[in-house]
Amino acid sequence: MPVFEMPLEQLWEYTGCSPKPADFDQYWEQALAENAAVGLDYTTTPAAFQAPGVECFDLWFTGVRGAKIHCLFLKPAEVKEKIPGVVAFHGYMHHGGEWFERLPYVYRGMAVLVMECRGQGGLSEDAYSGAGPTVFGHVVRGVRDEDPHKLYYRDVYLDAAQTVRILMSMEFVDEDRVAVTGKSQGGGLALAAAALVPKVKLCAPLYPFLCDFQRVLDMDLNKGAYEGFYWLFKKCDPTHRSHDRYMERLGYIDIQNHTPNVKAKVLWQTGLMDDQCPPSAQFAAYNKLSAEKKIILYPDHTHELIYFANDEIFRFFLEI
Q: pLDDT for 98-115, tens place per residue?
A: 999 999 999 999 999 999
Does residue 154 carry a pLDDT above 70? yes
What local confidence, expressed as pLDDT, does residue 47 receive?
Answer: 98
> Which pTM value belongs to this model?
0.97
Segment 59-63 shows an average pLDDT of 98
As a whole number, the mean pLDDT across the chain is 96
Does residue 96 carry a pLDDT above 70? yes
Does residue 133 carry a pLDDT above 70? no
Reported as a single tens digit per residue, the pLDDT across 288-320 is 999 999 999 999 999 999 999 999 999 999 999
Identify whether 274 is a catalytic site residue: yes
What local confidence, expressed as pLDDT, does residue 4 receive?
Answer: 82
| Run of H or E including 168 | helix 152-169
| pLDDT-derived band at 131, boundaries 50, 70, 90 | confident
Q: Which amino acid type is present at position 133?
A: P
Segment 230-252 shows an average pLDDT of 95
Reported as a single tens digit per residue, the pLDDT across 175-205 is 999 999 999 999 999 999 999 999 999 999 9
Catalytic residue among 258, 274, 280, 301: 274
Across 137-146, 168-177, 195-204, least confident range: 137-146
What local confidence, expressed as pLDDT, does residue 12 receive?
Answer: 98
**pLDDT above 70 as % of the chain:** 99
| pLDDT-derived band at 3, boundaries 50, 70, 90 | confident
Across 1-5, 65-69, 141-145, least confident range: 1-5
Residues 6 or more apart from 114 whose CB is under 8 A from it? 71, 72, 73, 87, 88, 89, 90, 96, 97, 102
Q: How many CB atoms lie within 10 A of CB 129?
A: 9
Q: Tell me the three state secondary structure of residue 166.
A: helix
| pLDDT-derived band at 6, boundaries 50, 70, 90 | very high
Q: How many CB atoms lie within 10 A of CB 135?
A: 14
The whole-angstrom separation of Cα 87 and Cα 163 is: 8
Does residue 39 carry a pLDDT above 80? yes
| pLDDT-derived band at 1, boundaries 50, 70, 90 | confident
Catalytic residue among 70, 138, 258, 303: 303
CA 300 to chain centre: 24
Catalytic residue among 70, 184, 280, 301: 184
Provide the phi-psi class of 53: left if phi over 0, else alpha when psi is between -120 and 50, else beta. left
Across 23-37, 121-135, 136-150, 221-235, least confident range: 121-135
What local confidence, expressed as pLDDT, does residue 2 receive?
Answer: 77
Reported as a single tens digit per residue, the pLDDT across 263-292 is 999 999 999 999 999 999 999 999 999 999
